[in-house]
Amino acid sequence: MKIICIGRNYADHARELGNQVPEQPVVFLKPQSAILSHKHPFYIPEWTQEVHHEVELVVKIDRLGKTISEQHAPRYYSEVGLGIDFTARDIQSELKAKGHPWERAKAFDGSAVVGGFLPLSELGGEVQDLDFTLTNRGEVVQRGNTGDMLFSVNRIIAEVSKFMTLKVGDLLFTGTPAGVAAVASGDRLVGTLAGHDLFAVNVK
């Protein structure tokens, strides 16, 4: 399986990092080894001083497909969840400055928190109208609504499947709203989607 991630998919987050709003989705991958079970703590790697949390809607692909139209995209997923795209921001800034790929900053072990999944039908069926929050030590640090995505889930599936086959079990991280910030040892990050707590991660 692969983890497909979308960068800069919320205008408020693109702005907070000083990035342009993209004309087409910014796509990158994380390997399967990046997955952190939501039952395990996250250990800050020793080679970075600045790991940011990015809470994101995660869509589970449950059908094989290539060159999927936006119209047919809803047939390719039925469950959604919430995750964190942990990002070593200091390393990413260096890589961006050199024009290098982002894997060192984005694809490291434990960088993809994957929480539980819920049938979209149980959440009202509309993937572009879901509220989600991330709390840290009980305080809300990120708050989003999937209706604010620049590129909808269906549009992303259409774009990505132009050049990459989607397989059963692939996960799509759909981008983060504003509020990203560095984590520290002792933090406790809880992700809530439409009122359902889907992960709780202790940072060490």
Q: Which residue lies nearer to Zn ion by CB, 73 or 106? A: 106
Q: Which stretch binds Zn ion (CB under 5 A): 41-49, 58-66, 73-81, 170-178?
A: 170-178
Stretch that binds Zn ion, among 59-67, 69-77, 96-104, 171-179 (CB under 5 A): 171-179
Least CB distance from residue 67 to Zn ion, whole Å? 25
Considering beta carbons, is residue 65 or 130 the nearer one to Zn ion? Answer: 130
DSSP assignment, residue 192? E
Residues facing 197 on adjacent strands: 192
Toward Zn ion, which CB reaches closer, 85 or 187? Answer: 85
3-state helix, strand, coil in the chain (%, to 5): 20, 40, 40
Q: For Zn ion, which stretch binds (CB under 5 A), given 18-26, 137-145, 154-162, 175-183?
A: 175-183
Confirm or reject binding of residue 176 to Zn ion (CB under 5 A): yes
* Size of residue set near Zn ion by CB under 5 A: 3
Which has the closest alpha carbon to 143: 99, 176, 175, 182?
176
In the three-class reduction of DSSP (H, G, I as helix; E, B as strand; rest coil), residue 202 is classed as: strand
- For the sheet with 181-182, list strands across it: 87-88, 51-53, 181-182
Q: Are strands 51-53 and 196-202 parallel, antiparallel or unpaired?
A: unpaired
Distance CA 159, CA 67 (A): 8
Query: What count of other Cβ atoms lies within 10 Å of the Cβ of residue 162?
Result: 10
* Residue 85 binding Zn ion, by CB under 5 A: yes
Segment 4 to 63, residues that bind Zn ion, using CB under 5 A: 54
Compare residues 76 and 86 and give the one whose CB is closer to Zn ion: 86
Task: Pick between residue 9 and residue 154 the one whose CB is nearest to Zn ion.
Answer: 9
Residue 159 sits in the site that holds Zn ion (CB under 5 A): no
Cβ proximity to Zn ion, 48 vs 176, nearer residue: 176
What's the CA dihedral at 114, 144, 90, 50 to 10 degrees?
Answer: -70
187 binds Zn ion (CB under 5 A): no
In the complex, the smallest distance separating the C-beta of residue 102 from Zn ion, rounded to whole angstroms, is 10
The four Cα atoms 20, 24, 25, 29 give a dihedral, to 10 degrees, of: -100
Residues that bind Zn ion (CB under 5 A): 54, 85, 176
